[in-house]
Every structure is written in structure tokens, then in C-alpha cells.
Amino acid sequence: MTRRNMLTLIIILALFAFAICALIYPMFDRQQIRLGLDLVGGSHLVYQAQFPEGATGEDKTRAMDRALDTIRTRIDKYGVTEPIIQKQEGERILVQLPGFTDIEAAKRLVEQTGFLEFREVELNNGNPVYLGDYLENQNSEFFNKGEDSARIFVGEKRDDGKHYPIAFLSKDEEGNFKYIDEEGSPIDIEELRQIEEQIKAQLELGSAALLSWIPARGGDGTQLTGGFLKEARPSITTGITAEPEVAIEWNEEGGIIFDDIAERLYSRPSESQERCIGIFLDNILISHPQIIEPAYHGSGVITGNFTIEEVEHLANLLESGALPMPLQKPPLYEEMVSATLGAGFIDMSIKAGVIGIILIMLFMVIYYRLLGLLASLALIFYGTLVLALFKLIPVTLTLAGIGGFVLSIGMAVDANVLIFERMKEELRAGRTLGAAIETGFNRAWTAIRDSNITTFIVCGILYWVGSSIVAGEPVMGFALTLFIGVAVSMFTAIIVTRTLLRLFVGTRLAQRTSLFSVYSGRR
């Protein structure tokens, strides 16, 4: 046994000890191997941000950053651990919520623009304007000439207590009326007339349906929106029935605007629709309470037909603010894995890995005897080192990544097989064990190197594929774990097995060729 070999052995053992420690104890701030969404369960969403035409790159970047912050704030309030919210190429937003398996709730949470605005009823000589008035009106002038922005018309109240928009009326560049739907596509006038008549036939007294809602503005012409909110929190009405509501607090400017509006609306006839303030969230009229005081001094409540969850959601939404741009619905990509399924995968893949390793060891020991035993020791070292690397780098393990790791175990012994076969040939040619080891390793090295190159090429390509497509994590994980696995296997097969083998050179064991199964593999 040479001194150099001893040194190598010590380094190997130290590395092994380090790898085991790294796996058992938290190290470099890492408690455990990071597991992918498919293993822990959760939701994965990819959205396309929609910008108006002509938005500059700088605007977009700023808006994207703000959108990420907004989404993060919304998600943080739900206590999701380690959510991933990232910008992706092509103005896309990736949201990964480990452990959050209610994908519909996740989508609502992210998608909702959260644009809160306050509107009032448009008046024509003191009378409320209806959709019918516009449809009959042949000229292209708004009744309220001072207000140029879009009117929203909503349908009858639905089961959830909200009024959903049926049409938006605005003017095109030539100053003509155009009716559009929520997606911005034009609505056929005849169709709209039919819808209007249907709703009108069943219109309830005092309903908000079909009214023309225009922005509610303060004295200086600023529209009151969620942007002026200081605080929003869930609360309960103080009355005979306890109804969930959202208590809001305006900032200074918002408080002034609101009081301007309240004062104006308060002067209108009481118990009339004209006195209502319409609270619109993402173009949906969630409630339209009466203004009962001329001034509110900066605070108020949003009431509606809410459940407790809904008020919590709404308060969270208002607090985190509006998204600077809408997201395309449905998402470009969505995926949900239940937590039980993910946990099952972990158990199953550990089982597969352990059984695979044991079978390979058995095979190696039976076929190569002592050499196989050493290769098995090297394999244990290999497995520990690779797992430690996964934890320290860190590699996020997905199901496909585990597949890559397990596959690399099978391929890891290839280097040993190549070397052992060479060694056996050398031993058969009558060389001593020491000489056979050295020539065997040296001659097999080129074959090992060359044969692993194709795997590296493929890993490189797959990694690129995985990183350039939506939801390519499995492919990326596979490429990464296979690459690490094969690279480490070259190290363990060559350095570790050789060092272990050299320990036997010059001992009495080296004389017993049966231990090396020199002739058993020969045909």
C-alpha cells in the first residue's frame, strides 16, 4: 500500500463523512433536499400579461415588477410556504404554490385584477339614464356631456348577489358610439336590444341593472379608485343581523374625494337609485349602498352579499392593490398535483431506488465477486455523494429528476464493468493484480470518457429544452440529475474503486484469483 493511496483513501473517507453529515444535518441554511411541486403537491400557473398596444418596454418592466409584488402580497396572506412568483420571457408570470392544491382558488387569487372603482348613476335632466335610452338615442352624444369615459351596464343580480356587466359603451376615434363586451369585442346592437328587453321585462324595483354607471369623481375631477385606500380589513356589520363586510380607511386624498362625492349624491332625492354609490370590482358591481350622510371623514364599509371567506379575500385583494395590467384567462399553463399523490411518489421512488441499488449490488457481487463488492461500496459512496450534492447545490428534485438519478445508478456501474472486464483480460494474460489494476483502469478510461460524452451532449440539450419551455421543470430536472449522476459516477468508479482495489495489492488475498472471478465471465 503506497502512501499516496492512503492519502486518497483518507480524502475519500472524509468526503463520505462530509456527504453523510450534509444529508443528516442542516448545512448552508438548507434543512432538506428541495422537492419539486410534483412531489409535495401544489399548484403551478403560468399567465400571459396583457399590455395595451404601444406600451413601452420600460413601462412593461415596471408594471411586471409591480404585478409580481402585488401577487406576492396576495399570496403571502394565505400563508403558502415558499411560493415562487417569477417573471418569465415574453411577459409571462409564473406562480408556483407548494402545498396549495385548490387550483381554482389559486387562479382566482392571482387572476383577479383587483381594480376597485366607485361609480354613480348618469343623470339626464335629473333623471337616471338607462341602457334603453342610449339604444333608442340615434345621435352619438353622451347624456352627461361632461363625462367622456366608458359607461358600464350590468345585468340583473345573480345568485351570488353581484351584478355582472353586460356591455360597455364608449366612443371610438371618430366619435361614434360603440358597445363592447368584457373582452373588448364589439357587441351587435340588435343582440344587445334583445338582451335589454329581456332584462327589462323582469326588472325588479330599485334594481341597479341596465342603469348607466359613470365614474364617481371628486371636486378636482379625480375618479375614486382602490388606489386611494389606506387600509381594508374584514369586519362584521353592527346591526340586527351580523353580516360580513369590509371596513375601509381612505388615505387623505381619498377621504376628500369621497366626501366630495358623498356631499353631491346626498343632495339627490333620498331612497332613489341616483343616490347610490356603485362599488365595482373588476367591472362587476358588488354592491351599491345608499349615501346616507353628507360626509364620511375618511372611513367606510363595503357591504354586499358576502360570506366570511369572501370578505377576507376581498380585504386581502384591496390591501394588496390592483394588478397594473390584466392577465389573460385561462392561464397559458396550469397544473395541480394533490399532496397525497406527491407523497406517494416520494415513497415509491425511494422504494424503486433502494431496490434498484440492492439488485445491482447483488448482481455485481455474484458476477464479479470481490471486485463487485468493492464496486458496491463505491456505489453506496456514489449514492450518498450525489444526494448530498442535490441538497447543497441545491437541485430541486422532481419525479423526473429522481428518474434521472435512479437511471444514473444503473449507468454508474457501467464504468466499473468496463474496468473490471479489462482487468480480467489482463489477469488472464498473466499479469499480477497490481499491474492488471493499473492497465485495466488506464485502458478503460478512454472508453469510459467517450461513452459518457453522448450522455453529456443529451443532458445539455435536454437542459436547454427544459429551460426554454413553459413547465419544462421535469425535463430540466432529469437532465441535471442525470448529468450530476454520470459525472460523479466517473469519479467514484475510477478513483474510489481503484483506491479500494489497491488496498489488496500485495496482500495474500491478491493471490486468490477466484476472488476476482477471472474465468467465470469468460465464454
Beta strands 42-48 and 333-337, pairing class: antiparallel
Min dist. Cβ of residue 432 to another protein (A):
22
- What does DSSP assign to residue 211? B
Query: What is the spatial distance between Cα 12 and Cα 16, in angstroms, rounded to a whole number?
Result: 6
If the CB atoms of residues 149 and 340 are measured against another protein, the closer one turns out to be 340
Min dist. Cβ of residue 372 to another protein (A):
10
If the CB atoms of residues 4 and 519 are measured against another protein, the closer one turns out to be 519
If the CB atoms of residues 257 and 400 are measured against another protein, the closer one turns out to be 400
Secondary structure (3-state) at 22: helix
The two most distant CA atoms of the chain are separated, in Å, by 114
Distance, CA of 345 to chain centre: 20
If the CB atoms of residues 196 and 414 are measured against another protein, the closer one turns out to be 414
Burial 277-292 (b: 16+ CB within 10 A, else e): bbbbbbbbbbbbeebe
Min dist. Cβ of residue 299 to another protein (A):
35
**Distances, alpha carbon 19 to alpha carbons 199, 380, 381, 417, in Å:** 71, 11, 9, 25
Min dist. Cβ of residue 466 to another protein (A):
8
Q: Which grid cell sits at 178?
A: 360603440
Min dist. Cβ of residue 403 to another protein (A):
6
Min dist. Cβ of residue 88 to another protein (A):
11
CB 40 within 8 A of CB 32: no
What 3 state SS string does 75-134 have?
HHCCCCCCCEEEEECCCEEEEEEECCCCHHHHHHHHHCCCCEEEEEECEECCEECEHHHH
Min dist. Cβ of residue 141 to another protein (A):
39
If the CB atoms of residues 246 and 364 are measured against another protein, the closer one turns out to be 364
Min dist. Cβ of residue 208 to another protein (A):
24
β partners of residue 235: 245
If the CB atoms of residues 107 and 498 are measured against another protein, the closer one turns out to be 107
If the CB atoms of residues 273 and 416 are measured against another protein, the closer one turns out to be 416
If the CB atoms of residues 62 and 108 are measured against another protein, the closer one turns out to be 108
Min dist. Cβ of residue 493 to another protein (A):
12
If the CB atoms of residues 326 and 403 are measured against another protein, the closer one turns out to be 403
Q: Which grid cell sits at 479?
A: 437532465
Secondary structure (3-state) at 229: strand
Query: What is the spatial distance between Cα 245 and Cα 311, in angstroms, rounded to a whole number?
Result: 6
Query: What is the spatial distance between Cα 357 and Cα 355, in angstroms, rounded to a whole number?
Result: 5
CB 120 within 8 A of CB 224: no
Min dist. Cβ of residue 50 to another protein (A):
13
Beta strands 151-154 and 165-171, pairing class: antiparallel
Min dist. Cβ of residue 234 to another protein (A):
24
If the CB atoms of residues 95 and 482 are measured against another protein, the closer one turns out to be 482
Query: What is the spatial distance between Cα 111 and Cα 100, in angstroms, rounded to a whole number?
Result: 16
If the CB atoms of residues 46 and 97 are measured against another protein, the closer one turns out to be 46
**Distances, alpha carbon 257 to alpha carbons 232, 289, 298, 451, 463, in Å:** 17, 17, 9, 74, 55
The candidate with the shortest Cα–Cα distance to 121, out of 292, 245, 290, 305, is 290
